[in-house]
Amino acid sequence: MELTGKDGEIKMAEDKMIIKKHSAMIQTNVKELTLTQRKLINYLILIAQRTGKKELYKTTIANIKESCNIGKTENIDLKEQLKKLADIKIEFNHVNKDKNEVWQIISLLASAEVIQNTGQVEFEFSVKLLDKVLNPSIYAPLSVSLISGLKSSYSIVLYEFLRDYIGSPLVPKLLVEEFRNLMGIKNFEYSSFKDFKKRVLDIAVKEVNDKTDIRCEYLLIKEHGNRYSHIQFTVSKQDFQLMLGYNQTIKEEEYKPVENKSKHLPQEIIESIPEKHRTRAIIELITKHLDKGTEYIVSNIKYTTKNTPEKFGAYLNQAFEIDYASHDRESEIKLKVKTEKIVKHKAEAAKKIISDRIKTEKKLEIMRQLPDKELEKLRERAITIIKKESPGNEFALSASLVEMKMADLHVSDHEIEKYSSNDLD
């Protein structure tokens, strides 16, 4: 739901706060951008895309703070962030992903003004940047509200980068140095790989997995010598996020080991009894029910302990007779079966991803070796076909999907040519 506020400013619900961010604005090596600035530029893009083409855009300090989750920032700090955005320049075609683009360098903001005593903010993009903001040729769909909840700038960069490849089984393999540049890490920062992995890579991966709609994993690769040279990411939607909550080892309480004076009792049973109840009377009671099995005994001891009765022995005897813990054991069995299914499903999915990735990588490598003119023709065909197949779908023209369609078209053309040639023979 979109609401128009004073002076035509657009306000929207969280589920509408989706932007189409140009891939070159994601895959950039701008090292100066802070956490707040990364959130801020996304919000300004949102205002522009929801408003349409204008020379000047309007919002308020209050809405910026709320939408970017920077409520503690003082107004003077926010002004400083806007000022720095006007000073920071972005280099387009940095990763050379969009073959149609020529090299460009553009300031992130042309101007910004905080109107005194009103809380209103007016800003503008340069003509060249505005065209990329409003009409990105290749882009990733991003949630401004989701990104606002991230606390690490590295997490934002990683999320935006991987979100660009959510529709593809293959994320480009990155040199470690390329990834450092993408993260905006200066040359003198985290020079030790161990430090870089702990303070940048692992923190970003954990926060992305914990707080976003995607799940990612990575593999460190040594191609020459003993130093890691590349990072290979995999990314998928969080389809199993809720189910994985069940995929945890069922932990028994740890108890201090004691001497087993009754040699015929399994140690597992002895250790399940709270230390203060390891008495002769309890041991004798348990012995009477040993024919029911260790699992039966242990589960009912735990059930009794969980309910902390005043008369532990009497309650435990009743538990053995009636089997109070039957439901708990059934739940554990169901949980175990569910966990095994999830693990099996994940293993099969991972195997398929690897297989698809190898096939995809071959197709992409062959396609990327084509001359620029052929690549441009393939890209135009791919975009035309995608628009026909998915009219009105703003996600269908993401960079990864366009490139995949190009590779498929090239393979298809090659197969047709091969068939025609054989037919003539």
pLDDT tens per residue, range 312-322:
888 898 888 88
Does residue 183 contact residue 197 with C-beta atoms inside 8 Å? no
Nearest to 208 by CA among 147, 143, 159: 159
- Residue 228 covered by a domain: yes
**Range with top average pLDDT, 78-82, 258-262, 283-287:** 283-287
Strand 230-237, strand 89-92: pairing: unpaired
- Residue 395 covered by a domain: yes
How far is C-alpha 14 from the chain's CA centre? 18
Task: Tell whether the model's pLDDT for residue 79 goes beyond 90.
Answer: no
- Residue 274 covered by a domain: no
Task: Tell whether the model's pLDDT for residue 422 goes beyond 60.
Answer: no
Last residue in a domain, options 149, 164, 194? 149
Angle (CA) 72 77 123, round 5°: 110
336 shares its domain with 401:
yes
127 shares its domain with 215:
no
Nearest to 68 by CA among 83, 81, 51, 53: 81
Higher pLDDT, 111 or 258: 111
Instruction: In whole angstroms, give the CA distance from residue 247 to residue 251.
Output: 12
- CATH code, domain with 106: 1.10.10.10
358 shares its domain with 227:
no
User: At residue 120, what are phi and psi to the nearest 5 degrees?
Assistant: -85, 145
pLDDT tens string 296-353: 999 999 988 888 777 788 889 888 888 888 888 888 888 888 888 888 888 888 888 8
- Residue 169 covered by a domain: yes
Q: Which domain holds residue 199?
A: 153-238
197 shares its domain with 145:
no
Higher pLDDT, 253 or 369: 369
What one-character DSSP code corresponds to residue 398? B
Task: Tell whether the model's pLDDT for residue 93 goes beyond 60.
Answer: no
pLDDT of residue 72: 59
What one-character DSSP code corresponds to residue 121? E
What one-character DSSP code corresponds to residue 277? G
pLDDT of residue 5: 47
In this prediction, residues 46-61 reach a mean pLDDT of 92
What's the total number of domains in the chain? Answer: 3
Task: Tell whether the model's pLDDT for residue 284 goes beyond 70.
Answer: yes
In this prediction, residues 78-91 reach a mean pLDDT of 84
pLDDT tens string 222-235: 887 888 999 999 88
Kindly report whether the global pTM for this prediction surpasses the value 0.75: no
In this prediction, residues 382-389 reach a mean pLDDT of 89
Q: Is 293 left (phi over 0), alpha (psi -120 to 50) or beta?
A: left
User: Residues with Cβ < 8 Å from 231, sequence gap 6 or more?
Assistant: 173, 174, 176, 179, 201, 218, 219, 220, 221
200 shares its domain with 140:
no
119 shares its domain with 219:
no
410 shares its domain with 374:
yes
60 shares its domain with 145:
yes
Does residue 17 contact residue 144 with C-beta atoms inside 8 Å? yes
- Residue 275 covered by a domain: no
- Residue 282 covered by a domain: no
Nearest to 218 by CA among 161, 149, 138: 161
Instruction: In whole angstroms, give the CA distance from residue 36 to residue 47.
Output: 17
pLDDT of residue 425: 45
Task: Tell whether the model's pLDDT for residue 149 goes beyond 70.
Answer: yes
pLDDT tens string 160-204: 889 888 877 678 889 999 899 888 888 888 889 999 999 999 999
Strand partners, 235: 216
115 shares its domain with 157:
no
In this prediction, residues 244-270 reach a mean pLDDT of 48
Task: Tell whether the model's pLDDT for residue 76 goes beyond 80.
Answer: no
164 shares its domain with 100:
no
Does residue 144 contact residue 42 with C-beta atoms inside 8 Å? yes
168 shares its domain with 141:
no
Task: Tell whether the model's pLDDT for residue 3 goes beyond 50.
Answer: no
9 shares its domain with 140:
yes
- Residue 297 covered by a domain: no
Last residue in a domain, options 105, 124, 149? 149
pLDDT of residue 53: 92
Strand partners, 175: 230
- Residue 261 covered by a domain: no
Last residue in a domain, options 116, 149, 182? 149
DSSP-derived secondary structure for 153-181 = HHHHHHHHHHHTTTTSS-PPPEEHHHHHH
pLDDT of residue 197: 93
